[in-house]
Amino acid sequence: MKPRSLATLVAVGLAVLALAVPVFAQSGAREIVTKVPFDFSVGDKPFPAGSYKIVHRVGGMPELQLRSEDGKASASLSAVTRLARQHMGDAPHASLVFDTAGSKNILSEVWLPGEDGFLVHGSEGPHEHAIVEMK
């Protein structure tokens, strides 16, 4: 291959990469805000009642984060598995599902608009579900 042809090929390749980076950055993350009316926990970490953001980073492995609106509390939510939306219909809204046993409320599922859900914690033993709709 001639040096000039190689230089042209490299320049075109770099131009394509330069255009691809902004497109990936734009897909970034979605934030959904909700108010949880009761104290709860994520795993063993306690959270007070209040306003929270669920941040969903898209692309590659989905990543979820829970952040208090005041920025004082946060947790990474590791998805144990994806949950098929079929039992919740095609609901366009988002919701958080808490496993409630006695006075304990443990975040167990995150449902985002137009997507399957994420199981973030499974509770053993008898429990009820408390559902908090997100804005």
Q: pLDDT tens-digit profile of 98-113?
A: 999 888 999 999 988 8
pLDDT of residue 91: 57
Query: What is the CB neighbour count within 10 angstroms for residue 74?
Result: 15
pLDDT of residue 121: 84
pLDDT of residue 134: 75
Cα 55 from Cα 117, distance rounded (Å): 14
**What tokens does 76 get?**
């990474």
**What tokens does 74 get?**
């946060």
CA-to-CA dists, residue 86 to 47, 100, 127, angstroms: 30, 23, 22
Residue reference for tokens 């291959």: 1
Contact assessment for residue 119 and residue 108, using Cβ atoms and an 8 Å cutoff = yes
Give the number of C-alpha atoms closer than 13 A to the C-alpha of residue 66, restricted to the C-beta side: 28
Selection from 94, 98, 99 nearest residue 111 by Cα: 94
User: Any alpha helices (H) in 28-134, and if so which ranges?
Assistant: none
pLDDT digits (tens, 9 = 90+) for 60-76: 566 789 999 988 899 99
Domain ranges of the chain: 28-133
pLDDT digits (tens, 9 = 90+) for 17-44: 333 333 333 456 788 889 999 999 998 8
Contact assessment for residue 75 and residue 89, using Cβ atoms and an 8 Å cutoff = no
The pTM is what? 0.69
Cα 36 from Cα 39, distance rounded (Å): 8
